[in-house]
Structure 1
Amino acid sequence: MNVKRGIKIATAIKYDMDKDSAPRLVAKGVGIVAENIIKKAQENNIKVLEDESISQSLMQLEVESEIPEVMYDAVAKILAFIYEMDRDKKGR
């Protein structure tokens, strides 16, 4: 998917270690849909990582599909970001 410069994109992943064998893409969107994904995340205190290259890669997947192994490096970056945010929050 080729998105024009300046147009917002957003993706969301979910990982339930008890149910999933890999993280899943649960939402993706461009423009107003992307803005709504981000707004919903913020309303639910879900951490948001801004990384265009990761989002561009995830946009290639179908919603509800598992993240393929070739994208695990990108997902590891997301999980590390969440871990750091949680650790910083607990340290306060």
Structure 2
Amino acid sequence: MKGKKQAAALDYNLEEPQGAPKVIAVGEGLMAEKILSVARDHGIPILENREIVAKLIEVPLGTEIPPDLYEAVARVLAFLYRLDQEKNSKNREES
């Protein structure tokens, strides 16, 4: 049996990094669905990783991620960076 859906949102500016990413929203069930809905509505990329989310929901809101999550979140940021680069490259080709 599956557990409740969980979601976490991080704040981190790839162009102006300042410290570690911060947890800005976490939730389970309906709150997780709302977080995902807001991300979709604003074109924010979503990456599903249950292990990372399970750890992120334990982090107090507004605080930086703990050092034990740096490596996992760095992989997420690298993924987002690649998406951003692909999007920018595609936009330049279409211009």
TM-score category (smaller protein): 0.7 to 0.9
How many residues were matched structurally? 89
Question: What is the CA–CA distance in structure 1 between the aligned matches of 2:59 and 2:3, rounded to whole Å?
Answer: 22
Q: What is the CA-CA distance between 1:18 and the residue it aligns to?
A: 5.2
Match of 2:10 among 3, 9, 13: 13
The alignment status of 1:25 with 2:23, answered yes or no, reads: yes
Question: What is the CA–CA distance in structure 1 between the aligned matches of 2:70 and 2:43, rounded to whole Å?
Answer: 24
Question: What is the CA–CA distance in structure 2 between the aligned matches of 1:70 and 1:9, rounded to whole Å?
Answer: 20
Q: Share of identical aligned residues, percent?
A: 36
Match of 1:88 among 86, 89, 92: 86
Q: What is the CA-CA distance between 1:90 and the residue it aligns to?
A: 2.0
Question: What is the CA–CA distance in structure 2 between the aligned matches of 1:46 and 1:35, rounded to whole Å?
Answer: 14
TM-score in terms of structure 1 length: 0.86
- Match of 1:43, as an amino acid? D
- Match of 1:58, as an amino acid? L
TM-score in terms of structure 2 length: 0.83
Q: Can you give the 5+ residue segments of structure 1 that lack an aligned partner in the other structure?
A: none
Larger radius of gyration: 2
Q: Can you give the 5+ residue segments of structure 2 that lack an aligned partner in the other structure?
A: 91-95
